[in-house]
Structure 1
């Protein structure tokens, strides 16, 4: 399984998603992003926007933002 989570240090929404992945024992790679939106070019490239968290599930061809949507996806699809 190839999961990547783009997150920002200290972001409570990112931490919620990381905790859910950890609780479900899902392996993932973390890409730490810049605090400044203008420095998040890679996030924009993969998701079309600069907000975090962003989860990329390469195996399923899914890229999504918004922590609530990601949490639902983790619970429904990955756990």
Structure 2
């Protein structure tokens, strides 16, 4: 499984997603982003926007933003 989470250190929405991935024992890689939106070029490249968190599930061809949607995706699709 190839899951990548784009996150910002100290972001409470990112923490929720991290916690959900950890609680469900889902392997993933974290890409830590810059605090300044204008410096989040990699996030923009993969998702079309600069906000975090962004989850990329390469195996399923899914890229999504907004923590509530990501949490729902984890629960309905990735959780064992």
Partner of 2:66: 66
List per-residue Cα deviations over 1:40-73 (Å, max 9, x = no partner).
Answer: 0000000000000000000000000000000000
Deviation, 1:23, is 0.1
The RMSD of aligned alpha carbons is: 0.1
Partner SS for 2:30: strand
**TM-score normalised by structure 2 residue count:** 0.99
Partner of 2:36: 36
Partner of 2:46: 46
Deviation, 1:18, is 0.3
Give the number of equivalent residue pairs.
79
Structure 1 residue runs of 4 or more that deviate by more than 6 Å after TM superposition:
none
Partner of 2:55: 55
Partner SS for 2:63: strand
Partner of 1:25: 25
Structure 1 unaligned spans of 5+: none
Q: Partners of 1:40 and 1:31 in 2: how far apart?
A: 11
